[in-house]
Chains A and B, each alone.
Chain A
Amino acid sequence: MNRLGTVIGFTFKNKVRTKSFLITTLLLALLMTIGIHLPFLIQLFTGDDSGSSNKIGIAAEGHPEIAQQIEDYVSALPENELQFVPLEQGDAAALNKQAQDQKLAGYLEIAPASAQGTSEAFPTVQYVSKSGSIPADLQAALQPAIESAKTRFITQGALSDEQIKQLTTPAQLTAVSYDKLAGTDTGGTDEAEGSKFSPMNFITVYVLMTLFFFSAMLTGNMIASEVTSEKSSRVMEILITSVAPLTQMFGKVIGVFLVGLVQIGIFGVTIAINLMLPYNRNVLAGFDLDFSQMPLDVLAYGLIFYILGYFLYALLYAAVGSIVSRTEDLGQAVTPLTMLSLAAFYIGIFSLNNTNSLLMKISSFVPFTSPTTMIARIGLGEIAFWEILVSLVLLLAAILFFGWLSAKIYRTGVLMYGKRPSFKELRKAMKAYKI
């Protein structure tokens, strides 16, 4: 136990101090900071002319009632910041001049469909501005306003306001299971369907999966290259005569795991600090995110699966590192493991909207893919408690089995130099070494 601590300490200290670790951590933290600030920055840039963009002119040539309806509709919107300024009639040049004189963002020109000269046709509406384009948020506010006005214009008072409102809202198509509809759903999670698909759940699952994928791959590679470099510098021969290989391997895996935790911790703090900044808080509120809604059960399960999954991959990476003699050959040797973690990641990501598919059900019991797919099912799908338990037991069994196998491979591999051995050669060597 004492020696295990020594190995963990040495691995941790040396990994944390490497330049590559410092640089990647700082760089990623910086990228995250920029990423979080992006919405704010975008707002800052687009908001440069926001002083005037609240004001929009309206030139309602002969259709003042349409202009009035648009104004009414928009001003009734929550958090409306738009102001309408009626413009005097005139030709295009005169209107442009008025808009520019009053520093308007642009103006709406409501022109009667004068080609036919009939007053029944709804007039064409165009937005005139310097750039000739319409900002997305403005369009989002104006489009329904104009449609509403159009409905009113066509029905000409035949419909009540309530009917018009119903007409303009799109019909809802919802989906529900037989069991749920019949009220016979006996699933282990009795939370309401609505809360399951809250954005916070989605984000938690997404973040956990991404975190798992990246840390399994990055730390896995770290471990493998560490083992290989120990082997190629022949420190291994001394190490293996001082410490049992199992102690050595677990020491390394735990040490690098701690390094990973520190890194994640740094990122977490970076994100937290950035989110705390007052101007960012406003922006996030705009995304309708509430961190108090964080699903704690998903987070807890996620953590358990994350740690167990990490160990499963890390042990295998250590074993692969031990059979390679030179760092150059390492990339090729770890490819199968990389593929495996990629599969786990993509099955999870692509099934986020369909967590109850057969593929997800199967892969949530397969130890290599369960760390990602199980989280998705817990967070976003329907799952019974026994399913989680079975998956955990399978994962634990896999860790024990592959830990045992990895220790054997490790013990044999570290003594085999030269060309990467095949499985047959490994088996033969294990026999010869009596391991």
Chain B
Amino acid sequence: MTERLVLQSVVKRYGNKTAVDHISLGVQEGEIYGLLGANGAGKTTTMRMVLGLIYPDEGSITYGGRPYGGDVQRIVGYLPEERGLYPKVKVSEQIIYLAKLRGMNGSEAEQNLKYWMKKFEAEEYYDKRIEELSKGNQQKMGFIAAVVHRPEIIILDEAFSGLDPVNVELLKLAVKELRDQGASILFSTHRMEHVEELCRNITILDRSKTVLQGDIREIKNRFPREQILLKTSSAVTGLDQIAGVVGVEGDPESYLIRINDEAAAVPVLTEAMRQSEVRHFEVKEPTLNQIFIRSVGERHE
């Protein structure tokens, strides 16, 4: 697979402050790439550089091998964190306008718009003004505006924030569809479960530096497994006496056991089986949430 969007040790400084410090990443065709980080870590600056809104001080950004330029604008789609649409203009008009600005002709844009409207079950909003729509629907329209011109590179900044679960599923499906059609998607969010579901590769930024990067599976394997989920038919006691166990939480019959050594798993299971009937035993892999908090949160302390 070729990497369509490539950032090579990109640096951005505002005065004395370095906002982005030597970040490199590559997004392949048909891939959703997760860009994570606490507030102010440099995500938005990175995205703005990808969009050509601001230029990097060092390093380079290439789009399918080319540097930024007018033709690149046409293959990029962008959903800003704060929805950008004209409040007083009809949905259809402004989305077709935005598509035209990105080089698509009017009739094709209209066709695409209708396709997405149908997909989002929002056909009745075609002739409504944005200000008449609910927040969730406005967001859907923003999403359509970002993808209506069939971009090869899509940048989604907090695409799912403020949506109800039903709409989140709808948008997730749409993002996956675009991925399967070969789009390269740079995706930023604070919701780790979305990242785990959608992304293969991620970069976690912290205070303008990359702290973690790579395949989610590999990253997870790099982190020790620290939790055991145990479900039994009756109460089990004395688990906290076993070497390697740090703490035991939860109600009888369902325990969450924190360990600092994976070797403690076998004694825990043996002890549980001795006392009761084990219904469920799992040495849990760390969630992305935990990894994020460990790699970002610990430094903050």
Contacts and interface: CB of A to CB of B under 8 A. Distances in A.
Interface stretch (A32-40, A83-91, A232-240, A355-363): A232-240
A433 B76 contact: no
Interface stretch (B78-86, B179-187, B227-235, B258-266): B78-86
Interface stretch (B31-39, B52-60, B238-246): B52-60
Given A233-B85, A234-B82, A234-B84, A428 B15 contact: yes
B97 A241 contact: no
A326 to B, nearest CB: 14
**Prevailing SS type, chain A contact patch:** helix
B216 to A, nearest CB: 29
A339 to B, nearest CB: 30
B54 A238 contact: no
Contact of A241 (B53, B94, B100): B53
Interface in A1-28: 3, 6-7, 10, 13-14, 18
B43 interface: no
Kindly name the residue among A7, A14, A234, A237 whose own CB sees the greatest number of chain B CB atoms within 10 A. A237
Contacts of B84: 233-239
A238 B86 contact: no
A230 B97 CA distance: 14
Contact of A238 (B13, B48, B93, B98): B98
A6 B100 contact: yes
B78 A238 contact: yes
Given A6-B101, A233-B84, A241 B78 contact: yes
A159 interface: no
B54 A415 contact: yes
B54 A434 contact: yes
B70 A7 contact: no
Nearest to B145: A238
For the complex of A and B, list the 3 residue pairs with the smallest distance between their C-beta atoms, beginning with the closest.
A234-B84, A242-B101, A235-B84
Contact of B101 (A237, A243, A428): A243
B51 interface: yes
A378 B80 CA distance: 53
A151 to B, nearest CB: 74
Contacts of B146: 238
A236 B52 CA distance: 13
B247 interface: no
22 contacts: A3-B101, A6-B97, A6-B101, A13-B93, A229-B87, A234-B80, A234-B84, A235-B94, A238-B78, A238-B80, A238-B98, A238-B146, A239-B98, A239-B101, A241-B52, A242-B102, A243-B101, A244-B70, A415-B48, A432-B14, A432-B54, A433-B54
Contacts of A239: 84, 98, 101
Nearest to A415: B53
B55 A7 contact: no
Contacts of A229: 87
Contact of A433 (B55, B70, B89, B100): B55
Contacts of A244: 70
Given A10-B97, A242-B98, A428-B15, A237 B73 contact: no
Given A238-B145, A242-B73, A433-B55, A7 B86 contact: no
Contacts of B85: 233, 235
Interface in B146-164: 146
A237 B97 contact: no
Contacts of B97: 6, 10
A239 B15 CA distance: 27
Contacts of A415: 48, 53-54
Contacts of B88: 14, 18
B117 to A, nearest CB: 18
A9 to B, nearest CB: 9
A230 B98 CA distance: 13
Interface string A403-428: 00000000000010000000000001
Contacts of A428: 15
Contacts of A230: 86
B74 to A, nearest CB: 8
Contacts of A242: 73, 98, 101-102
Contacts of B103: 3
A264 to B, nearest CB: 25
A236 B86 CA distance: 10
A417 to B, nearest CB: 10
A53 B52 CA distance: 80
Contacts of A235: 84-86, 94
B147 to A, nearest CB: 12
Given A234-B83, A241-B51, A241-B78, A432 B98 contact: no
Given A6-B97, A415-B53, A433-B54, A241 B73 contact: yes
A237 B78 contact: yes
Nearest to A11: B97
